[in-house]
Amino acid sequence: MQELIDAFTDMREEDTARIARELIDSGVDPLAVLEAARQALEIIGQRFETGEAFIPELLMSGEMMKDISNYARPRIMHGAAEGQKLGRVLIGTVAGDIHNLGKDIATTMLDINGFEVVDMGVDVPAQTFVDKIREIQPDVVGMSGLLTLAFDAMKETVEAIEAAGLRGSVKIMIGGATVDESIRDYVGADAYAPTAMAGVSLAKQWKGIQ
């Protein structure tokens, strides 16, 4: 697992994909592999914050995360809820932040736990959140962000949702390595999820499940 983290943080794309596949194929829990990838993403995000990594690294890390998620998903889908979805979740990385910061992991975890997930990608403007909420009427809105500048974007997005008269129809959770309870309070979200599985638990709780 450490070999995977090292390859990921060294930006060795082919090695990262190979190691992840070998781990999963050998019987290692795909969720544990995704967790290792999340840890690597956090390291790269921290390097970006301190000027040790740059936008190309963020973009590449997002692609590597997506590749691992896509390989892991079919191998854990057997544990997913079958039939009717538990609820609909709209998720995206807020404006000004261009990497996925575990958003792909959160999407995967919500998906395999029976939620319909609409992922809007990265650098999503507040108005796009508003428009998409109107369009698909989700139960939960998830906002991801790693950079500290994302906090203001999250706050502006929550305010835009409220100004559009949609705040009462959705629960809002935020996530990211630098997010904590004080940021949740500043942003005006209903909760923050320190991990992808915490996000799943919140979504289930809000839907009256568990």
Side-chain-side CA neighbours of 139 within 13 Å: the count stands at: 17
Q: What is the pLDDT of residues 90-101, one digit of tens each?
A: 999 999 987 676
Radius of gyration of the chain (CA): 17
Residues 42 and 111 in one domain: no
Q: Which residue has the tokens 């290792």?
A: 36
H or E stretch at 118: strand 116-119
Report which of residues 167 and 79 the model is more confident about: 167
Residues 25 and 103 in one domain: no
Report which of residues 151 and 196 the model is more confident about: 151
Residues 102 and 189 in one domain: yes
pLDDT at 56: 87
CATH code, domain carrying 22: 1.10.1240.10
Report which of residues 63 and 155 the model is more confident about: 155
What does the pLDDT average to over 184-188?
97
> What is the span of the domain harbouring residue 99?
88-206
CB atoms under 10 Å from CB of 184, counted, come to 18
Among candidate residues 20, 47, 79, the one where a domain is terminated: 79
In angstroms, what CA-CA distances link 114 with 88, 174, 197, 209? 9, 20, 13, 11
pLDDT at 22: 97
What does the pLDDT average to over 56-67?
86
Side-chain-side CA neighbours of 75 within 13 Å: the count stands at: 19
Tell me if 54 sits within 8 A of 11, measured CB to CB.
no
Residues 106 and 6 in one domain: no
Instruction: Quote the mean pLDDT of the chain.
Output: 89
Residues 96 and 165 in one domain: yes
Among candidate residues 60, 79, 98, the one where a domain is terminated: 79
In angstroms, what CA-CA distances link 82 with 33, 76, 85, 91, 133? 24, 13, 8, 22, 25
Length of the chain: 210
- Please name which of 154, 71, 56 lies closest in space to residue 105, comparing C-alpha atoms: 71
Residues 52 and 96 in one domain: no
Sheet holding 88-93, edge to edge: 116-119, 88-93, 140-144, 171-175, 191-193
Residues 97 and 191 in one domain: yes
Lowest-confidence region among 4-13, 109-118, 131-140, 153-162: 109-118
CATH code, domain carrying 127: 3.40.50.280
Residue 77 pLDDT grade (very low, low, confident, very high; cuts 50, 70, 90): low
- Distance CA(12)–CA(67), nearest Å, equals 13
pLDDT at 193: 94
Amino acid in the structure at residue 152: D
Residues 112 and 69 in one domain: no
Residues 133 and 190 in one domain: yes
Structure tokens at 174: 């935020």
Among candidate residues 24, 56, 79, the one where a domain is terminated: 79
Residues 113 and 193 in one domain: yes
53 pLDDT exceeds 80? yes
pLDDT at 184: 97
pLDDT at 88: 96
Domain count, the chain: 2
Lowest-confidence region among 19-33, 53-67, 127-141, 174-188: 53-67
Q: Which residues contact 48 (CB under 8 A, 6 or more apart)?
A: 54, 57, 58, 99, 146, 147
Residues 124 and 142 in one domain: yes
Residues 95 and 175 in one domain: yes
pLDDT at 81: 47
Report which of residues 124 and 108 the model is more confident about: 124
Residue 63 pLDDT grade (very low, low, confident, very high; cuts 50, 70, 90): confident
